[in-house]
Amino acid sequence: MNEVLSQDEIDQLLQAISSGESEDTDFKPVNDTRKIKIYDFKRPDKFSKEQIRTVSIMHETFARLTTTSLSAQLRSLVHVHVASVDQLTYEEFIRSIPTPTTLAVINMDPLKGNAVLEIDPAITFSMIDRLFGGTGQGAKVSRDLTDIEQSVMEGIIVRILANMREAWTQVIDLRPRLGQIETNPQFAQIVPPSEMVVLVTLETKVGEEEGMMNFCIPYLTIEPIISKLSSQFWFSSVRRSSTTQYLGTLKEKLSDVDMDVVAEIGTINMPIRDVLALRVGDVVRLSTVRVGDPLSLSVGNKKKFYCQPGVVGKKMAVQIIEKIDDSETEDFEELSVEGDESYE
Protein backbone atom coordinates (compact mmCIF):
# COMPACT_ATOMS: atom_id res chain seq x y z
CA MET A 1 0.00 0.00 0.00
CA ASN A 2 1.08 3.58 -0.59
CA GLU A 3 2.23 5.49 2.51
CA VAL A 4 -0.19 8.27 3.62
CA LEU A 5 1.50 11.67 4.19
CA SER A 6 0.84 13.56 7.39
CA GLN A 7 -0.30 17.17 7.38
CA ASP A 8 3.22 18.43 8.38
CA GLU A 9 4.78 16.51 5.48
CA ILE A 10 2.22 17.96 3.07
CA ASP A 11 2.98 21.52 4.31
CA GLN A 12 6.74 20.98 3.89
CA LEU A 13 6.24 19.63 0.38
CA LEU A 14 4.11 22.59 -0.65
CA GLN A 15 6.62 25.02 0.86
CA ALA A 16 9.50 23.38 -1.04
CA ILE A 17 7.58 23.57 -4.32
CA SER A 18 6.65 27.24 -3.82
CA SER A 19 10.22 28.23 -2.88
CA GLY A 20 11.77 26.19 -5.71
CA GLU A 21 14.04 24.35 -3.31
CA SER A 22 13.98 20.60 -3.67
CA GLU A 23 16.55 17.89 -3.59
CA ASP A 24 17.02 15.50 -6.47
CA THR A 25 16.83 12.61 -4.07
CA ASP A 26 13.27 13.54 -3.26
CA PHE A 27 12.12 12.43 -6.75
CA LYS A 28 12.98 9.02 -8.14
CA PRO A 29 11.97 8.28 -11.75
CA VAL A 30 10.18 5.02 -12.25
CA ASN A 31 11.65 2.80 -14.95
CA ASP A 32 8.60 0.94 -16.20
CA THR A 33 9.67 -1.42 -18.95
CA ARG A 34 6.30 -3.11 -19.30
CA LYS A 35 4.75 -3.07 -22.78
CA ILE A 36 1.24 -1.76 -22.50
CA LYS A 37 -1.26 -2.39 -25.30
CA ILE A 38 -4.52 -0.50 -25.47
CA TYR A 39 -7.47 -2.88 -25.73
CA ASP A 40 -10.97 -1.77 -26.56
CA PHE A 41 -13.55 -4.19 -25.15
CA LYS A 42 -16.19 -2.73 -27.49
CA ARG A 43 -14.29 -4.03 -30.55
CA PRO A 44 -12.23 -7.09 -29.58
CA ASP A 45 -9.74 -8.48 -32.10
CA LYS A 46 -11.04 -11.79 -33.41
CA PHE A 47 -8.61 -12.29 -36.29
CA SER A 48 -4.92 -12.95 -35.73
CA LYS A 49 -2.25 -11.31 -37.86
CA GLU A 50 -1.61 -14.61 -39.62
CA GLN A 51 -5.28 -14.99 -40.50
CA ILE A 52 -5.42 -11.41 -41.80
CA ARG A 53 -2.34 -12.13 -43.92
CA THR A 54 -3.93 -15.28 -45.36
CA VAL A 55 -7.11 -13.37 -46.24
CA SER A 56 -4.92 -10.82 -47.98
CA ILE A 57 -3.16 -13.53 -50.03
CA MET A 58 -6.52 -15.04 -51.04
CA HIS A 59 -7.84 -11.72 -52.27
CA GLU A 60 -4.66 -10.86 -54.13
CA THR A 61 -5.56 -13.85 -56.30
CA PHE A 62 -9.13 -12.53 -56.48
CA ALA A 63 -7.82 -9.11 -57.56
CA ARG A 64 -5.73 -10.61 -60.37
CA LEU A 65 -8.67 -12.65 -61.66
CA THR A 66 -11.00 -9.65 -61.47
CA THR A 67 -8.49 -7.48 -63.33
CA THR A 68 -8.45 -9.97 -66.21
CA SER A 69 -12.22 -10.62 -66.35
CA LEU A 70 -13.28 -6.95 -66.11
CA SER A 71 -10.71 -5.91 -68.71
CA ALA A 72 -12.19 -8.48 -71.11
CA GLN A 73 -15.80 -7.56 -70.30
CA LEU A 74 -15.35 -3.77 -70.46
CA ARG A 75 -12.74 -3.85 -73.27
CA SER A 76 -10.81 -1.30 -71.30
CA LEU A 77 -7.75 -1.20 -69.07
CA VAL A 78 -8.79 -2.28 -65.56
CA HIS A 79 -6.49 -2.63 -62.58
CA VAL A 80 -7.50 -4.08 -59.21
CA HIS A 81 -5.21 -4.73 -56.26
CA VAL A 82 -5.53 -5.21 -52.50
CA ALA A 83 -4.97 -1.95 -50.63
CA SER A 84 -5.56 -3.19 -47.08
CA VAL A 85 -7.20 -5.86 -44.93
CA ASP A 86 -8.55 -4.65 -41.57
CA GLN A 87 -10.86 -5.79 -38.82
CA LEU A 88 -13.45 -3.36 -37.46
CA THR A 89 -17.08 -3.27 -36.39
CA TYR A 90 -19.86 -3.42 -38.95
CA GLU A 91 -21.08 0.00 -37.80
CA GLU A 92 -17.69 1.55 -38.60
CA PHE A 93 -17.81 0.01 -42.08
CA ILE A 94 -21.32 1.32 -42.78
CA ARG A 95 -20.33 4.82 -41.65
CA SER A 96 -17.24 4.85 -43.85
CA ILE A 97 -19.02 4.35 -47.19
CA PRO A 98 -20.92 7.03 -49.13
CA THR A 99 -24.66 7.30 -49.69
CA PRO A 100 -25.89 6.40 -52.24
CA THR A 101 -23.54 3.64 -53.33
CA THR A 102 -23.68 0.15 -54.84
CA LEU A 103 -24.05 -2.46 -52.08
CA ALA A 104 -24.36 -6.08 -53.16
CA VAL A 105 -25.59 -8.46 -50.45
CA ILE A 106 -23.94 -11.83 -51.12
CA ASN A 107 -25.01 -15.24 -49.86
CA MET A 108 -21.85 -17.14 -48.83
CA ASP A 109 -23.15 -20.69 -49.25
CA PRO A 110 -22.17 -23.13 -47.71
CA LEU A 111 -21.12 -20.67 -44.99
CA LYS A 112 -23.86 -19.16 -42.87
CA GLY A 113 -24.90 -15.55 -43.23
CA ASN A 114 -24.15 -12.92 -45.85
CA ALA A 115 -21.28 -10.68 -46.90
CA VAL A 116 -21.32 -7.27 -48.57
CA LEU A 117 -19.51 -6.09 -51.70
CA GLU A 118 -19.47 -2.29 -51.96
CA ILE A 119 -18.42 -0.60 -55.21
CA ASP A 120 -17.58 3.10 -55.31
CA PRO A 121 -20.12 5.14 -57.35
CA ALA A 122 -17.35 6.52 -59.59
CA ILE A 123 -16.33 2.96 -60.54
CA THR A 124 -19.96 1.85 -60.88
CA PHE A 125 -20.93 4.58 -63.35
CA SER A 126 -17.62 4.24 -65.22
CA MET A 127 -18.30 0.53 -65.88
CA ILE A 128 -21.92 1.24 -66.85
CA ASP A 129 -20.88 4.02 -69.23
CA ARG A 130 -18.29 1.74 -70.81
CA LEU A 131 -20.82 -1.07 -71.36
CA PHE A 132 -23.28 1.43 -72.86
CA GLY A 133 -20.70 2.40 -75.48
CA GLY A 134 -19.23 5.45 -73.78
CA THR A 135 -15.65 6.31 -72.94
CA GLY A 136 -15.94 5.11 -69.36
CA GLN A 137 -16.30 8.43 -67.58
CA GLY A 138 -17.99 8.26 -64.20
CA ALA A 139 -21.06 10.30 -63.32
CA LYS A 140 -20.37 13.64 -61.68
CA VAL A 141 -23.62 13.55 -59.72
CA SER A 142 -24.58 11.28 -56.86
CA ARG A 143 -27.78 9.37 -57.57
CA ASP A 144 -29.43 5.97 -57.29
CA LEU A 145 -29.15 3.40 -60.05
CA THR A 146 -31.98 3.07 -62.54
CA ASP A 147 -33.55 -0.35 -63.16
CA ILE A 148 -31.52 -0.84 -66.34
CA GLU A 149 -28.28 0.24 -64.66
CA GLN A 150 -28.97 -2.07 -61.73
CA SER A 151 -29.53 -4.99 -64.13
CA VAL A 152 -26.20 -4.23 -65.81
CA MET A 153 -24.41 -4.12 -62.46
CA GLU A 154 -25.91 -7.50 -61.53
CA GLY A 155 -24.16 -9.04 -64.55
CA ILE A 156 -20.84 -7.46 -63.55
CA ILE A 157 -21.15 -8.57 -59.91
CA VAL A 158 -22.02 -12.16 -60.91
CA ARG A 159 -18.78 -12.29 -62.93
CA ILE A 160 -16.85 -10.88 -59.97
CA LEU A 161 -18.35 -13.54 -57.68
CA ALA A 162 -17.10 -16.27 -60.03
CA ASN A 163 -13.57 -14.94 -59.44
CA MET A 164 -14.21 -14.95 -55.71
CA ARG A 165 -15.20 -18.61 -55.79
CA GLU A 166 -11.96 -19.52 -57.57
CA ALA A 167 -9.84 -17.46 -55.14
CA TRP A 168 -11.40 -19.26 -52.14
CA THR A 169 -10.94 -22.75 -53.63
CA GLN A 170 -7.90 -23.53 -51.45
CA VAL A 171 -9.94 -23.02 -48.26
CA ILE A 172 -13.54 -23.99 -49.10
CA ASP A 173 -15.74 -24.74 -52.09
CA LEU A 174 -17.49 -21.38 -51.82
CA ARG A 175 -20.61 -20.78 -53.92
CA PRO A 176 -21.35 -17.05 -53.54
CA ARG A 177 -24.69 -15.85 -54.91
CA LEU A 178 -25.94 -12.34 -55.42
CA GLY A 179 -28.91 -11.70 -53.16
CA GLN A 180 -29.86 -8.09 -53.77
CA ILE A 181 -28.39 -4.69 -54.58
CA GLU A 182 -28.95 -1.77 -52.19
CA THR A 183 -27.96 1.87 -52.59
CA ASN A 184 -28.49 2.94 -48.96
CA PRO A 185 -26.07 1.33 -46.47
CA GLN A 186 -28.69 1.54 -43.72
CA PHE A 187 -30.80 -1.03 -45.58
CA ALA A 188 -27.98 -3.60 -45.59
CA GLN A 189 -27.95 -4.59 -41.92
CA ILE A 190 -26.67 -8.14 -42.28
CA VAL A 191 -25.24 -8.33 -38.72
CA PRO A 192 -25.56 -6.28 -35.52
CA PRO A 193 -23.63 -2.95 -35.60
CA SER A 194 -21.17 -4.09 -32.93
CA GLU A 195 -20.27 -7.35 -34.73
CA MET A 196 -16.64 -7.62 -35.88
CA VAL A 197 -15.96 -7.95 -39.60
CA VAL A 198 -12.93 -8.32 -41.83
CA LEU A 199 -12.80 -5.62 -44.50
CA VAL A 200 -10.85 -6.17 -47.72
CA THR A 201 -10.27 -2.86 -49.50
CA LEU A 202 -9.44 -3.12 -53.21
CA GLU A 203 -8.13 -0.14 -55.14
CA THR A 204 -9.81 -0.19 -58.54
CA LYS A 205 -9.03 1.78 -61.68
CA VAL A 206 -11.22 1.64 -64.79
CA GLY A 207 -9.69 3.70 -67.56
CA GLU A 208 -9.01 7.06 -65.92
CA GLU A 209 -11.52 6.62 -63.10
CA GLU A 210 -10.25 5.48 -59.70
CA GLY A 211 -12.16 4.26 -56.67
CA MET A 212 -12.53 1.52 -54.10
CA MET A 213 -14.25 -1.82 -53.87
CA ASN A 214 -14.83 -3.08 -50.32
CA PHE A 215 -15.56 -6.69 -49.46
CA CYS A 216 -16.96 -7.01 -45.93
CA ILE A 217 -17.14 -10.47 -44.31
CA PRO A 218 -18.66 -10.83 -40.81
CA TYR A 219 -16.81 -12.92 -38.25
CA LEU A 220 -19.91 -15.08 -37.71
CA THR A 221 -19.80 -16.06 -41.39
CA ILE A 222 -16.10 -16.89 -41.56
CA GLU A 223 -15.86 -18.48 -38.09
CA PRO A 224 -16.40 -22.14 -39.24
CA ILE A 225 -13.26 -21.98 -41.43
CA ILE A 226 -11.17 -19.68 -39.24
CA SER A 227 -8.77 -22.53 -38.45
CA LYS A 228 -8.02 -22.92 -42.17
CA LEU A 229 -6.85 -19.33 -42.46
CA SER A 230 -3.27 -20.16 -41.55
CA SER A 231 -0.14 -20.02 -43.65
CA GLN A 232 0.64 -23.70 -43.09
CA PHE A 233 -2.81 -24.87 -44.24
CA TRP A 234 -2.84 -22.40 -47.13
CA PHE A 235 0.49 -23.38 -48.65
CA SER A 236 -0.09 -27.12 -48.13
CA SER A 237 -3.48 -26.87 -49.85
CA VAL A 238 -1.91 -24.90 -52.70
CA ARG A 239 0.61 -27.71 -53.25
CA ARG A 240 -2.11 -30.36 -53.12
CA SER A 241 -4.35 -28.52 -55.54
CA SER A 242 -1.46 -27.82 -57.91
CA THR A 243 -0.54 -31.51 -57.98
CA THR A 244 -4.17 -32.52 -58.54
CA GLN A 245 -4.55 -29.90 -61.24
CA TYR A 246 -1.43 -31.10 -63.06
CA LEU A 247 -2.54 -34.73 -62.85
CA GLY A 248 -5.91 -33.83 -64.29
CA THR A 249 -4.28 -31.89 -67.12
CA LEU A 250 -1.90 -34.74 -67.89
CA LYS A 251 -4.74 -37.27 -67.98
CA GLU A 252 -6.73 -35.00 -70.28
CA LYS A 253 -3.80 -34.57 -72.67
CA LEU A 254 -2.87 -38.27 -72.63
CA SER A 255 -6.43 -39.30 -73.42
CA ASP A 256 -6.00 -37.84 -76.95
CA VAL A 257 -2.71 -39.63 -77.72
CA ASP A 258 -2.92 -42.18 -80.54
CA MET A 259 -1.55 -45.64 -79.70
CA ASP A 260 -0.91 -48.65 -81.93
CA VAL A 261 -3.08 -51.64 -81.02
CA VAL A 262 -1.80 -54.94 -82.44
CA ALA A 263 -3.46 -58.37 -82.26
CA GLU A 264 -0.61 -60.87 -82.40
CA ILE A 265 -1.38 -64.34 -83.70
CA GLY A 266 2.00 -65.84 -82.89
CA THR A 267 5.76 -65.52 -83.29
CA ILE A 268 8.59 -67.48 -84.81
CA ASN A 269 12.30 -66.90 -85.20
CA MET A 270 13.55 -67.11 -88.79
CA PRO A 271 16.92 -66.42 -90.35
CA ILE A 272 17.09 -63.47 -92.71
CA ARG A 273 17.78 -65.77 -95.65
CA ASP A 274 14.42 -67.54 -95.07
CA VAL A 275 12.55 -64.25 -94.76
CA LEU A 276 14.03 -63.06 -98.07
CA ALA A 277 13.05 -66.35 -99.68
CA LEU A 278 9.35 -66.09 -98.71
CA ARG A 279 6.91 -66.09 -101.65
CA VAL A 280 3.15 -65.77 -102.04
CA GLY A 281 1.51 -69.03 -100.99
CA ASP A 282 4.25 -70.09 -98.58
CA VAL A 283 3.09 -71.40 -95.19
CA VAL A 284 4.84 -70.26 -92.01
CA ARG A 285 4.25 -72.48 -89.01
CA LEU A 286 3.93 -70.60 -85.72
CA SER A 287 5.37 -72.51 -82.81
CA THR A 288 3.97 -70.38 -79.99
CA VAL A 289 0.24 -70.75 -80.60
CA ARG A 290 -2.28 -73.50 -81.33
CA VAL A 291 -5.57 -73.32 -83.12
CA GLY A 292 -8.25 -72.11 -80.69
CA ASP A 293 -5.80 -70.41 -78.33
CA PRO A 294 -6.58 -66.73 -77.53
CA LEU A 295 -4.48 -64.07 -79.19
CA SER A 296 -2.61 -61.37 -77.31
CA LEU A 297 -3.56 -57.72 -77.89
CA SER A 298 -0.71 -55.25 -77.44
CA VAL A 299 -1.16 -51.53 -76.73
CA GLY A 300 2.02 -49.83 -77.82
CA ASN A 301 4.70 -52.34 -76.88
CA LYS A 302 2.81 -53.80 -73.89
CA LYS A 303 0.66 -56.93 -74.00
CA LYS A 304 -2.53 -55.88 -72.21
CA PHE A 305 -5.42 -58.22 -73.21
CA TYR A 306 -6.37 -61.65 -74.45
CA CYS A 307 -8.66 -61.63 -77.46
CA GLN A 308 -10.20 -63.87 -80.10
CA PRO A 309 -10.39 -63.16 -83.85
CA GLY A 310 -13.66 -62.56 -85.68
CA VAL A 311 -15.46 -60.44 -88.26
CA VAL A 312 -17.61 -57.30 -87.90
CA GLY A 313 -19.43 -56.73 -91.16
CA LYS A 314 -16.82 -57.11 -93.86
CA LYS A 315 -13.91 -56.15 -91.60
CA MET A 316 -11.67 -58.40 -89.53
CA ALA A 317 -11.83 -57.72 -85.78
CA VAL A 318 -10.90 -59.10 -82.39
CA GLN A 319 -13.00 -59.47 -79.25
CA ILE A 320 -11.33 -58.82 -75.88
CA ILE A 321 -11.74 -61.77 -73.54
CA GLU A 322 -9.80 -60.75 -70.42
CA LYS A 323 -7.03 -58.50 -69.17
CA ILE A 324 -3.49 -59.81 -68.88
CA ASP A 325 -2.09 -59.62 -65.32
CA ASP A 326 1.08 -57.67 -64.70
CA SER A 327 2.91 -60.88 -63.77
CA GLU A 328 1.97 -62.45 -67.10
CA THR A 329 3.11 -59.29 -68.89
CA GLU A 330 6.54 -59.69 -67.28
CA ASP A 331 6.65 -63.31 -68.51
CA PHE A 332 5.89 -62.12 -72.02
CA GLU A 333 8.71 -59.59 -71.84
CA GLU A 334 11.17 -62.25 -70.65
CA LEU A 335 10.15 -64.52 -73.53
CA SER A 336 10.57 -61.64 -75.95
CA VAL A 337 14.07 -60.94 -74.68
CA GLU A 338 15.01 -64.62 -74.94
CA GLY A 339 13.62 -64.73 -78.46
CA ASP A 340 15.71 -61.71 -79.45
CA GLU A 341 18.82 -63.40 -78.06
CA SER A 342 18.15 -66.60 -80.03
CA TYR A 343 17.52 -64.51 -83.13
CA GLU A 344 20.92 -62.89 -82.77
236 beta partners: none
| Domain annotation covers residue 280 | no
Are residues 82 and 136 located together in one domain of the fold? yes
d(C-alpha 157, C-alpha 97), whole Å = 18
Both 183 and 292 in one domain: the answer is no
In a domain, 91, yes or no: yes
In this predicted structure, the answer to whether residue 4 has a pLDDT above a threshold of 60 is yes
Across the chain, which distance is largest between two alpha carbons, in Å?
140
- List pLDDT tens digits, range 26-79: 555 556 566 666 666 666 667 788 888 888 888 999 999 999 999 998 888 899
Both 224 and 295 in one domain: the answer is no
Let me know whether 148 and 267 are in one domain: no
- Residue 248 is assigned to a structural domain of this protein: no
What are 39's strand-pairing partners?
A: none
Specify the CATH number for the domain of residue 112. Answer: 3.40.1550.10
Domain count, the chain: 2
CATH at residue 310: 2.30.330.10
- Give the Cα separation of 114 and 105 in Å (integer): 7
Same domain, 267 and 220: no
Is the residue at 1 inside a domain?
Answer: no
| Residues 132 and 218 grouped into a single domain | yes
pLDDT of residue 153: 92
Q: What are the angstrom distances between the C-alpha of 176 and each of 88, 93, 205?
A: 23, 21, 24
pLDDT tens digits for 148-206? 999 999 999 999 999 999 888 888 888 999 988 988 888 888 888 888 899 999 999 99
Which of 78, 55, 81 lies closest to 68 in space, CA to CA? 78
Q: Which residues lie closer than 8 Å to 303 by C-beta, 6 or more apart?
A: 264, 296, 297, 324, 328, 329, 332
User: Residues 103, 196: one domain?
Assistant: yes
Q: Which domain does 172 fall in, by range?
A: 49-233
Would you call 284 helix, strand, or coil by DSSP?
A: coil
DSSP state of 4: P
Distance between CA atoms of 258 and 255, rounded to whole angstroms? 8
If asked whether residues 203 and 169 sit together in one domain, one would say yes
User: Does 193 share its domain with 302?
Assistant: no
Q: Model confidence over 232-251: pLDDT tens digits? A: 665 565 555 555 556 777 77
